[in-house]
Amino acid sequence: MSTIAADFKKLTAHAKEYGFIYQSSEIYDGLAAAYDYGPNGVLLKNNLKEYWWRSMVQLHDNIVGIDAAIFMHPKTWKASGHVDAFNDPLIDNKDSKKRYRADVLIEDFMDKIEGKINKEIAKAKKRFGDDFDEAQFRETNPNVLRYAKQHNEIGTRLATAMTNGDMAELKQIIEDLGIADPDTGSKNWTDVRQFNLMFSTQLGNIAGEEGKLYLRPETAQGIFVNFVNVQKTTRQKLPFGIAQIGKAFRNEIVARQFIFRMREFEQMEMQFFIQPGTQMEWYKYWKETRLKWHKALGHPAEKLRFHDHENLAHYADAAVDIQFEFPFGFKELEGIHSRTDFDLGAHQELSGKKMQYFDPQTKESYVPYVLETSIGADRLFLATMSHALREEQVPGQDDPNKRRDVLALHPAIAPIKAAIMPLKRNDERLVNMAKDIFNDLRYRFDVQYDDTGAIGKLYRRQDAVGTPFCITVDFDSLADGEAPGTVTVRDRDTLEQARVKIEDLAGFIGPKVDMATLLAEAGK
Ligand code: ATP
């Protein structure tokens, strides 16, 4: 097995074993692309959502939040373009009967070419050592040049075919490149056809097309249709934003890769309403702001990159993805889109209601432009876990065979902030003291009392779920002990143990696990 597959398998197994994520309806062999968050998972996900919400709504005077319904009037999706254009190109393999996204098959082929380029570079780096100049090598090495040319040519053909909705050309590209079914090697393909990704359902009291409802495929439209309501009731002036966290549903053709691509998922979207003509300025601002936000969370710079969209969606005049290096490569984590006045304009036209803003300075009314930031809470969860999960040599141990699994989460998002444990579970005095501490701290933090095993085992379990502090009550803590009224606090990352007075515990832990620390880092 490749190390990538091994890492990913380890991550999914860890997520299940430690109560982060379970397959939906597992007892019935599961439902593809649907997942349930377990006790630790829901805490981590809620913390990630809180980090997003507070950095948007609490820390911006000009961003407010809403929580719109999942069901919307069906005309919403006509105006937004989703009924006509929210399609993915689908292709079936006639032999294996497997279904693929045609554009993804081509993109995977392009990734392989990029892999070859990276291999050439790695080889040359090894050969030339410190003298290696990567930029020059890329410009002069004949193999790299050949691969890069091929990569560009395919990219241009793909972008053009996607923009034009040219399904025949997509099939042609697959045939020209000799792309085979990744599972079986068969090249016996059907034609490529468009597949709409919206799930539909039916209202009980209205039969036929009239009663057809969609499960929202994005949260953004709930914001657009409420633009005038929110602006009037909050008296916000442009520029201002509306933020929302909520479920979205897409009938994804290929839903592999765990919680990366689900059919039911959660989005955190913010639409920023601006004066037409200022979109590039705000595009730049939100690109920088969002990247900083990710870095503060602990995502290292080398695992994040911008990726400009080659084929723009029907609503956008500029779009970039923040990609994260997941265990299966760099993929979209967040999208930043300049959506122009497309959505508000379309709703204005179809509803006949004005979706405008009266600018008190220019004394003009106009449909604002929109700059959007859109991130999946589940993808953020996966990125966070995949970076944080490490198998490492136990800090401070000389023996390289002494290893541990640790989830090195930022303390502010860790599911459990501190675990309180008695050194011996059969000593009533230790147990009572530990429980008193737990009952006191639980009012302030998500804490856990645990006496279900030997202390070493309990520590390892807390490391595996990312608990930043373990508080241990030992014999010294007791009234007749060496240091009465004190306990040890073990740091997850350094394993250093500090002796802390019980009454100082909240003050010791508090600032480190406080979301304010994280928010301040993101704002720097
Ligand atoms: P992709 O190209 O990966 O399908 P997209 O470009 O369609 O994604 P957007 O419509 O821009 O995605 O959605 C915004 C964000 O919502 C994405 O950056 C991603 O984090 C999240 N997202 C989209 N689709 C899914 C899904 N099926 N499962 C989980 N998260 C998703």
Please tell me the residue having the least CA distance from ligand 1 atom 19. 376
Lowest mean pLDDT among 198-212, 367-381, 401-415: 198-212
Please tell me the residue having the least CA distance from ligand 1 atom 24. 261
Which residues partner with 273 through β-bridges? 240, 370
CB 183 within 8 A of CB 95: no
The CATH number of the domain where 128 resides is what? 3.30.40.230
404: pLDDT strictly greater than 70: yes
Query: Is 267 near ligand 1, meaning CB less than 6 Å away?
Result: yes
Task: Give the pLDDT confidence of 242-298 residue by residue, as tens digits.
Answer: 999 999 999 998 877 899 999 999 999 999 999 999 999 999 999 999 999 999 999
| Domains of the chain: total | 3
Query: Is 35 near ligand 1, meaning CB less than 6 Å away?
Result: no
The pLDDT confidence band at residue 3, using thresholds 50, 70 and 90, is low
Which residues partner with 340 through β-bridges? 370
Same domain, 255 and 152: no
| 64 within a domain of the structure (yes/no) | yes
Same domain, 374 and 402: no
Same domain, 328 and 401: no
Going edge to edge, which strands form the sheet with 264-274?
63-65, 240-249, 264-274, 369-376, 329-340, 318-326, 304-308
Closest atom, ligand 1, to C-alpha of 269: 14
Query: Is 446 near ligand 1, meaning CB less than 6 Å away?
Result: no
| 434 within a domain of the structure (yes/no) | yes
Q: Which residue has the higher pLDDT, 481 or 492?
A: 492
Task: Give the pLDDT confidence of 436-479 residue by residue, as tens digits.
Answer: 999 999 999 999 999 999 999 999 999 999 999 999 999 999 99
Same domain, 116 and 47: no
Same domain, 438 and 378: no
The pLDDT confidence band at residue 1, using thresholds 50, 70 and 90, is very low
Task: Give the pLDDT confidence of 216-228 residue by residue, as tens digits.
Answer: 999 999 999 999 9
Domain region containing 121: 87-196
Gap from CA of 384 to ligand 1 centroid (Å): 16
CA distance 133 to 125: 8
| 375 within a domain of the structure (yes/no) | yes
| 49 within a domain of the structure (yes/no) | yes
- Residue at a domain's end among 358, 393, 428: 393
- Residue at a domain's end among 368, 393, 418: 393
pLDDT at residue 4, rounded to an integer: 57
The CATH number of the domain where 516 resides is what? 3.40.50.800
CA distance 98 to 515: 45
Nearest to 173 by CA among 111, 103, 124, 227: 103
38: pLDDT strictly greater than 50: yes
The CATH number of the domain where 353 resides is what? 3.30.930.10
| 25 within a domain of the structure (yes/no) | no
Number of H helices, E strands in the chain: 17, 23
CB 480 within 8 A of CB 487: no
Same domain, 227 and 343: yes
Query: Is 261 near ligand 1, meaning CB less than 6 Å away?
Result: yes
DSSP H or E segment with residue 288: helix 279-296
Q: Show the tokens assigned to 274.
A: 């601006």
Same domain, 192 and 203: no
As a whole number, the mean pLDDT across the chain is: 94
DSSP H or E segment with residue 369: strand 369-376
Find the farthest-apart pair of alpha carbons in the chain and give their distance in angstroms, rounded. 83
**Whether pTM exceeds 0.75:** yes
| 20 within a domain of the structure (yes/no) | no
The DSSP string of 90-158 is EEEBTTT--EEEHHHHHHHHHHHHHHHHHHHHHHHHHHHGGG--HHHHHHH-HHHHHHHHHHHHHHHHH
Gap from CA of 150 to ligand 1 centroid (Å): 28
Q: Show the tokens assigned to 87.
A: 């399609």
Query: Is 518 near ligand 1, meaning CB less than 6 Å away?
Result: no
Lowest mean pLDDT among 102-116, 263-277, 392-406: 392-406
Task: Give the pLDDT confidence of 308-329 residue by residue, as tens digits.
Answer: 887 677 677 899 999 999 998 8
Task: Give the pLDDT confidence of 322-355 residue by residue, as tens digits.
Answer: 999 999 889 999 999 999 999 999 999 999 999 9
| 344 within a domain of the structure (yes/no) | yes
Gap from CA of 335 to ligand 1 centroid (Å): 8
Enter the DSSP assignment of 54.
Answer: I
Same domain, 257 and 267: yes
- Residue at a domain's end among 196, 221, 254: 196
- By residue count, the chain amounts to 524
Same domain, 209 and 302: yes
The pLDDT confidence band at residue 198, using thresholds 50, 70 and 90, is very high
The pLDDT confidence band at residue 523, using thresholds 50, 70 and 90, is confident
